[in-house]
Amino acid sequence: MSDSTTSRPVRLRVAPSPTGDPHVGTAYMSMFDLAFARQQGGQFVLRIEDTDRARYQADSEQQIFDTLHWLGLGWDEGPDIGGPYAPYRQSERLDTYRPYVERLLAEGKAYHCWCTGERLKEMRERQQALKQPTGYDRMCLGKTAEERAQLPGYSETPVVRMLIPDDAPTTFTDLIRGEVSAPRPDDQVILKADGFPTYHLAVVVDDHEMGITHVVRGEEWISSTPKHVLLYQWLGLPEPAFAHMPLLRDEKKAKISKRKSPWARLTWFREQGYLPEALLNFLALLGYPPVIERGEDGQQVEREVFDFAEFTERFDWAKVNTVGPIFNLEKLNWLNGHYIRELEVGELASRLLPFLQDAGVLGPQPTLPELGRLRAVTELVQTRIVTLTEAVPLIAPFYTGDADLEIAEDARGQLKDTAEQVLTAALAVLDPIDGTAGTPLGEGVEWTTERIETALREALVDGLGIKPRLAFGPLRTAVSGARVSPPLFESMEILGKASTMARLTRLRDELAATSD
């Protein structure tokens, strides 16, 4: 790291490629970037590295914007909002890279290569067969296009390669790892035949042009850093500080990939109903230690729940874990459940609403009574869900017509021979209780949780002598259509007397018909 890095305003960037659903690693890097930038009073930049045109997907860029915004990882400059170093898409910066390439060619630090892909493939296979180090054999070095055309494997459109010297630097200082050694680099292609720069040139030029002081990326880029350091030195540019984060790994300790793991897609977490604050907390714990506090007994204890503001306040590169963490979904589920339980009921209802609308449980413009019922049901399910999607089947029966409620096969199958008797007794004891479905409970209305529970326990548990589980199972099935549901008596109160009685009657009659 050069001295000029420390004297410049802190500027960090994340630079994802729009090649499909955003990778969870984009959020992982972004939160560390943003935490340090905010702690130091600097800026956080979003740059789109779209030079890989073969894998480019047009809708991916918007997904990057949407998912990072969903997580609250906002940027100060980027393609969507502009900034003093625009444009922020590499495909719009092609004229920026060409002068750097021409300078390297003129100074003999780069050269044209006309080798076809087939020729390069044969070269690598031959090197591997002979157990030689793989790397470009410099067939094109020092030759004109005419001279090279006389040899096999010639392409009329050349690429440009770096000419790596024998004394190329192979060590550098890393903010997380200290002194790091990397392999001697190959003659890396820096300009492709289509005129687009490769990552290695573009990242150096863009980071310099945009004043980036700290480059944070995955540890898989350690082997490429000597190439970048060499380009900084050749071009006389100040080097940024490097921080190579540990790779996120799956349960088999392999680098996570979108091809193998659905949760490698950043959009997956939103689809599954994880809260952004829980995901940020989880990602922080993958690369950073928990908060250490003093317990009541004076002993040190770990606290794993913390928000992004606290993470930012205590951030220190020296504390970042250097060992690739295992992506433990059980820990994420635990955190998500904790954050769900901590939400105010109205806030949780608001977060559940889009999932219910997507599932067709509620329409695009819910009525005030529907929203009021949602708040009441949310309070029932809040402690029973780990993700927002888990609430959908629990809430759906409250918005289903009594005649349309489907009884799940597993719920129907667990009914005992006493179910018809239980339902008949329940209907008899509930009938005298006053109550009007769909209206707020008020003075003189007895259709309350307490009144319902008292009546049913007296009639079924005490009167029929049936154990509570067997006594209330048929009622739960009739009311919700499922084996697992929100608390029974509270559900009956929310549904109202009319719907509750209709559902109990329907199942009772079905059972009676099948027993005849």
What gap in Å lies between CA 410 and CA 484, rounded to an integer? 10
Residue type, 28: Y
Beta 43-46 vs 11-14: how paired, if at all? Answer: parallel
CB 508 within 8 A of CB 492: no
**Read out DSSP for 427-439?**
HHHHTTS---TTS
Question: Could you write out the DSSP letters of every residue in 343-358?
Answer: S-HHHHHHHHHHHHHH
The pair of structure tokens assigned to 449 is: 């949780």
What SS3 state is found at 327? coil
Interacting residues of 447 by C-beta distance below 8 A, sequence separation 6+: 433, 434, 435, 436, 441, 493, 496, 497
Q: Positive or negative, the Cα torsion across 276, 282, 287, 289?
A: positive
Residue pair 201/100 in contact (Cβ under 8 Å)? The answer is yes
Helices 468-480 and 419-430 pack at an angle, to 10 degrees, of: 80
Q: Which residue has the tokens 């007397």?
A: 497
DSSP state of 89: B
Q: Which of 67, 231, 211, 236 is nearest to 165 (CA)?
A: 231
Q: Which residue has tokens 């897609």?
A: 265
345, 516, 510: which is closest to 412 by C-alpha? Answer: 510
Strand ranges across the sheet with 154-162: 110-115, 154-162, 189-191
Q: Which residues of 102-140 are buried (b: 16+ CB within 10 A; e: fewer)?
A: eebeeeebbbbbbbeeebbeebeeeeeeeeeeeebbebb
Helices and strands counted in the chain (H then E)? 21, 11
**331 annotated as a binding-site residue:** no
Q: Which amino acid, residue 339?
A: Y
Structural contact between residues 172 and 242, judged by C-beta atoms closer than 8 angstroms: yes
| Secondary structure element (H or E) that encloses residue 125, with its range | helix 117-129
Our answer to whether residue 416 is catalytic in this structure is no
Query: In three state form, how does the secondary structure of 182-228 look?
Result: CCCCCCCEEECCCCCECHHHHHHHHHHHCCCCEEEEEHHHHHHHHHH
372 SS3 class = helix
User: Is the bond leading into 87 cis (omega within 30 degrees of zero)?
Assistant: yes
Exactly one of 258, 260, 331, 497 is catalytic; which is it? 258
| Residue 8 token pair | 């410049």
What is the SS3 assignment for 471? Answer: helix
Binding-site entries: 258
Catalytic residue positions, numbered: 258
Binding-site entries for ATP: 258
